[in-house]
Structure 1
Amino acid sequence: MTDLAGNFLRLIFSLPADICAGHDQTVQALDIIQENSLARFTRRRNQ
């Protein structure tokens, strides 16, 4: 029973960290997409 409670608590406390890591990755991906589309836009404008 104590192992179960310990695992449950560990799960609860590790979730926010996972969410933060996922959020950071999403932000990085969006930044990369934004840079790529910006580069494509300027390339098209310069031609």
Structure 2
Amino acid sequence: MLISIPLKSPTFAPEKEKILFEGFKKACWFSFFRLYQIFSKES
């Protein structure tokens, strides 16, 4: 992924951090896909 956001917070355990990051990637990909669908319908 091009966007890398540091999740280096001391309150997060490594595995929690990993789950959060995976969820974040999925959310980004999903919203990108939705936008792509909308734009391809309009054109």
Residue identity opposite 2:31 in structure 1: I
**TM-score normalised by the chain length of structure 2:** 0.71
Structure with greater Cα Rg: 1
Cα deviation digits, residues 1-47 of structure 1 (max 9, x gap): xxxxxxxxxxx8x70000000000000000100000000000010xx
Q: Which runs of 5+ in 1 are unaligned?
A: 1-11
State how many pairs are aligned: 33
Percent identity over paired residues = 9
What 5-or-longer segments of structure 2 have no aligned partner? 1-9
Match of 1:16 in 2: 14
Q: Which has the higher contact order (CA 8 A, sep 6+)?
A: 2
CA distance in 1 between counterparts of 2:34 and 2:22 reads 18
**What's 2:40 paired with?**
42
With normalisation by structure 1, the TM-score equals: 0.65
